[in-house]
């Protein structure tokens, strides 16, 4: 819990005196009828509190001397409800286990929040995430103003005021979240290792005749068995031409001899995501064409990963990968023209239509800016990103020789920027042709 205290202190250092920061937990979401989706805490809220329950609000109150008060509103003990849905942390637990200075019953928040806001100058909140939450803060502010107006009349010589400035909290927290601490890196390493081993298992057990969802089942089982409480996102298991649909998630088709299967899947460990893609032949052996496309994507990915080191700019990864992919496609006579022109005209977009990757953390497409002041930002130690080039040749692309049809390849790894370069967190999932072919049981 000390880690969370440190984060609150680091955030507070960036907040102005005389301010109140307000952050809402995630809410339970209905799946259908009265059944709920599994609860997943809102990432910013978890980052600052470690608190695992819904119906909670985190408040950081910073006074005019700069002293910080951590106030948590959360559910109170309710023996009857706890019989149904399990033990709650309660107010005492919030203080003892989660280091809150004060904890109040969430039912009291409409009464207490206006008191907390009184005589403060600034509200920090995450703006525009949820209308209902934005409105609640407005109501607390209104109530605070009304109460103060009454007070002002009765205590004429006291200076009382309500906040008159609202600042978005999200960019401040998100810049912090972009740089992972040692504890966070350990969680991410674990998520990546479990997921990489799951990918290896799929390679070993894949065979023609299985359905896509059966590979998905093996992946999920391995992650849950190893301590992930869920997946970081919906798995993509795409056989044959389905691999050319970037976010294919129906996963309900039969895997056919001679096709590739693309699996983009990652477990979530302690709320930290892995995001790994591997592509391999369903019957264990690449055809000539599949191998040519695969090795081209792999060559691009390895060169892209090489660019990940402190000081290099975000777009250096995509630039080198594009050059390799376009040059390769021209050599294979899949594209025609000058490499430079094809890149400039973005002609490659019919085969490679996405970016080089994204930040990775608690959210699979994690928070953090990619540009500062209009320029691509340089890599710095502690950042984690994916590098995931792909080539997708749909059977519907009539301009291409049919021998290439239905070949969709993406290779994706999770990369930590270190002091002198990078570490591939997902390295234990095989990706060389020979490794993949020999992985089959």
Stretch of 90-98, 267-275, 284-292, 322-330 contacting Mn ion, by CB under 5 A: 267-275
Whose Cβ is closer to Mn ion: residue 384's or residue 407's?
A: 384
Stretch of 101-109, 204-212, 269-277, 309-317 contacting Mn ion, by CB under 5 A: 269-277
How far is the C-alpha of 349 from the C-alpha of 391, rounded, in Å?
9
> What is the β-pairing status of strands 122-125 and 165-168?
parallel
410 closest CA partner among 215, 310, 277: 277
Whose Cβ is closer to Mn ion: residue 293's or residue 415's?
A: 415
Token pair recorded at residue 381 = 């130690």
Closest approach of Mn ion to the CB of residue 190, in Å? 18
Closest approach of Mn ion to the CB of residue 360, in Å? 8
x-marked contacts with Mn ion along 128-157 as a string, rule CB under 5 A: ------------------------------
User: In a 3-state reduction of DSSP, which class is residue 19?
Assistant: strand
Non-local CB neighbours of 250 within 8 Å, separated by 6+ positions? 212
Q: What stretches of 314-441 show up as alpha helix (H) in DSSP?
A: 315-331, 339-344, 433-439
* Counts for the chain of helices (H) and strands (E), in that order: 13, 21
Non-local CB neighbours of 30 within 8 Å, separated by 6+ positions? 36, 37
Whose Cβ is closer to Mn ion: residue 188's or residue 342's?
A: 188
Q: What stretches of 276-332 show up as alpha helix (H) in DSSP?
A: 288-306, 315-331
Stretch of 4-12, 112-120, 150-158, 384-392 contacting Mn ion, by CB under 5 A: 384-392
Closest approach of Mn ion to the CB of residue 264, in Å? 7
Stretch of 12-20, 71-79, 270-278, 423-431 contacting Mn ion, by CB under 5 A: 270-278
Closest approach of Mn ion to the CB of residue 242, in Å? 17
How far is the C-alpha of 403 from the C-alpha of 206, rounded, in Å?
23
Closest approach of Mn ion to the CB of residue 423, in Å? 18
Closest approach of Mn ion to the CB of residue 363, in Å? 11
Stretch of 7-15, 74-82, 85-93, 273-281 contacting Mn ion, by CB under 5 A: 273-281
Whose Cβ is closer to Mn ion: residue 290's or residue 386's?
A: 386
> What is the β-pairing status of strands 384-387 and 390-393?
unpaired
Whose Cβ is closer to Mn ion: residue 275's or residue 363's?
A: 275
How far is the C-alpha of 141 from the C-alpha of 162, rounded, in Å?
7
Whose Cβ is closer to Mn ion: residue 12's or residue 387's?
A: 387
- The residues that are catalytic are 34, 247, 264, 275, 354, 358, 365, 388, 392, 410, 412
Q: Site size for Mn ion, by CB under 5 A?
A: 2
> If you write DSSP's letter for every residue of 110-141 in order, what string do you get?
HHHHHHHHTT--EEEE-TTS-HHHHHHHHHHH
Of 243, 386, 394, 426, the residue at the interface with Mn ion (CB under 5 A) is 386
Binding of Mn ion by 275 (CB under 5 A): yes
Binding of Mn ion by 366 (CB under 5 A): no
How far is the C-alpha of 327 from the C-alpha of 41, rounded, in Å?
45
Q: Which residues bind Mn ion (CB under 5 A)?
A: 275, 386
């Amino acid at each position: 819990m000390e880690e969370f205290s440190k984060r609150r202190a680091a955030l507070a250092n960036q907040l102005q005196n005389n301010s109140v920061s307000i952050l809402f937990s995630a809410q339970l979401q209905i799946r259908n009828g009265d059944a709920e989706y599994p609860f997943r805490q809102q990432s910013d809220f978890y980052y600052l509190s470690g608190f695992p329950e819904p119906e909670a609000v985190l408040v950081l109150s910073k006074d005019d001397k700069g002293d910080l008060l951590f106030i948590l509103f959360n559910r109170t003990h309710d023996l009857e409800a706890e019989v149904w849905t399990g033990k709650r942390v309660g107010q005492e637990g919030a203080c003892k286990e989660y280091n809150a200075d004060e904890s109040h019953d969430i039912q009291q928040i409409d009464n207490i929040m206006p008191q907390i806001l009184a005589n403060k100058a600034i509200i920090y909140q995450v703006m525009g995430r949820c209308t209902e939450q934005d409105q609640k803060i407005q109501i607390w502010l209104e109530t605070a103003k009304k109460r103060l107006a009454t007070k002002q009349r009765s205590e004429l010589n006291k200076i009382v005021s309500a906040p008159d400035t609202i600042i978005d909290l999200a960019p401040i927290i998100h810049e912090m979240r972009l740089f992972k601490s040692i504890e966070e890196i350990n969680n991410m390493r674990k998520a990546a290792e479990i997921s990489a081993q799951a990918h290896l298992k799929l390679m070993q057990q894949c065979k023609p005749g299985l359905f896509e969802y059966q590979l998905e089942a093996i992946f999920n089982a391995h992650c849950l068995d190893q301590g992930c409480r869920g997946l970081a996102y919906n798995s993509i298991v795409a056989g044959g031409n389905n691999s050319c649909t970037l976010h294919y998630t129906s996963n309900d088709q039969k895997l056919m001899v001679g096709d590739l299967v693309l699996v983009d899947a990652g477990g979530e460990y302690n709320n930290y995501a892995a995001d790994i893609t591997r592509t391999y032949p369903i019957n264990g052996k690449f055809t000539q064409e599949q191998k040519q496309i695969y090795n081209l994507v792999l060559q691009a990915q390895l060169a892209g990963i090489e660019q990940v080191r402190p000081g290099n700019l975000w777009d250096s990864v995509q630039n080198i990968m594009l050059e390799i992919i376009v040059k390769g496609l021209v050599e294979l006579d899949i594209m025609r023209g000058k490499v430079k022109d094809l890149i400039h005209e973005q002609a490659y977009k019919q085969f490679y239509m996405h970016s080089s990757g994204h930040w990775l953390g608690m959210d699979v497409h994690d928070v953090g800016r990619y540009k500062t002041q209009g320029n691509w930002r340089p890599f710095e130690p502690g950042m984690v990103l994916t590098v995931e080039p792909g080539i997708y040749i749909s059977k519907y692309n009539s301009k291409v020789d049919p021998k290439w049809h239905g070949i969709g390849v993406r290779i994706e790894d999770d990369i930590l920027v270190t002091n002198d370069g990078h570490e591939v967190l997902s390295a234990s999932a095989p990706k060389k042709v020979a490794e993949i072919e020999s992985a089959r049981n």
